[in-house]
Structure 1
């Protein structure tokens, strides 16, 4: 049994206040459904963490007792406070030194960038935050999943599921990834073709931008001062 535990692939996802829950739960469900993984939810302490939609998560590990991870993943959502939180950034940097894969979903890429891990790297994030990657020294790429070396970034929210399956194929092979996809019956067929600004109507894009305007404005203020840091 001890040998089996040692061989488990350690995957850690950061969990933080106002996290976008699907950024976390999408890849978490994929990772935890695979054979040979140990998945951790990590935060500064083990107090309950409330997501942006009100769902509550309980961290399994703190920054102090988290083991060295094979895969570190930073989800997105309310990441603005994390961009200048040195405790968070130091933890991410420290894990990244020896992690096999450094990853993010949605605006979690901004945290990787704030930690200095995306300089000169190709990266993706949510369409409404893609331009901020340039400020962080990255090359923005509007794709569902972008890989540059051992850094793998996914686009907005639902791309975390695709990202999780791609990671399983990378680590365990395509058969395991497809087996998990089948057991989750992941065969998306959305009723509308409005999942990207390119596909949505002008009215829908305007509505989406308006709905995201508060977080967008807050990030614009942060990044307007970024060169001074």
Structure 2
């Protein structure tokens, strides 16, 4: 049995963890535990996730999977949450993240000198933690596996399943979920999206992220 622990927090991007959860739980001998500080309900995007495990009571895991979202900065600045991530990382065979979850891994001191992915709007912030940002859907650096932005969680999950089990198992899961992406628009990559779409989205993301950059740099500066 392989245990995957996903530590969630308020304003996590739900697809960052529900997509990998959906894929991983189709493998019979993989157990996925979604946990929060004190087992408290987590709110995000008008949804509430309840009946979560208490993060502080989990002693070890085989895979640590940290999701991202606009709440990642608050999570990064929460000593109790960050301590739990650091503690579980010491027990994990694989340390992983999806989207801006890699910012949390960086804040936990787990990315120094290592290649990692993140959402394109957050990617360059990884440098503050000594990481080597890499544009890709999934980046593998030793036992570190990181997914890019949000929907990359599906690709990440299949990569992880093939690593934990084998490629046949991963492909069976892919077929069972009919994961055959054929988006109606070619606008899913910041480098190739239409110019006006890119500028509109950058403007929107800038407003949503607010002072994230300053807080990340301030946090990283305290650790130097």
Distance 2:2 2:125 in 1: 32
User: Which of 39, 48, 51 in structure 2 is aligned with 1:46?
Assistant: 39
SS for the counterpart of 1:10 is: strand
Q: CA deviation at 1:14?
A: 1.4
Q: In angstroms, what is the RMSD of aligned CA positions? A: 1.2
Which residue of structure 1 aligns with residue 137 of structure 2? 144
- Asked if the contact 1:20–1:157 (Cα under 8 Å) also holds between the matched residues in 2, the reply is yes
Residue 69 in 1 paired to residue 80 in 2? no
Alignment counterpart, residue 9 of structure 2, candidates 8, 16, 23: 16
Q: Whole-Å Cα distance in 1 between the matches of residues 81 and 130 of structure 2?
A: 19
- Cα deviation per residue 1:151-171 (whole Å; 9 max; x = unaligned)? 111100000010001100001
> In structure 1, which of residues 206, 213, 229 is the aligned counterpart of residue 199 of structure 2?
206
Q: What CA deviation, in whole Å up to 9, does each residue of 1:171-217 have, x standing for no partner?
A: 11011101111110100000000001112111101111111113433
Residue among 172, 184, 190 paired with 1:179: 172
Offset of residue 59 of structure 1: 4.6
Contact 1:10 1:38 in 2 (8 A): yes
TM-score (norm: length of structure 1) = 0.93
Instruction: Give distance in 2, aligned partners of 1:31 and 1:185.
Output: 14
C-alpha distance in structure 1 between counterparts of 2:74 and 2:163, whole Å? 32
- 1:227 paired to 2:213: no
Alignment length, in residue pairs? 221
Q: Among residues 133, 142, 148, which one is paired with 1:155 in the alignment?
A: 148
Contact 2:73 2:216 in 1 (8 A): no
Q: How far apart, CA to CA, are the structure 2 residues paired with 1:160 and 1:222?
A: 25
Q: Distance in 1 between matches of 2:48 and 2:163?
A: 30
Q: How does 1:18-37 map to 2 (within 5 A)?
A: 18-37=11-30
CA distance in 1, matches of 2:144, 2:51: 24
Gaps of 5+ in 1: 1-7
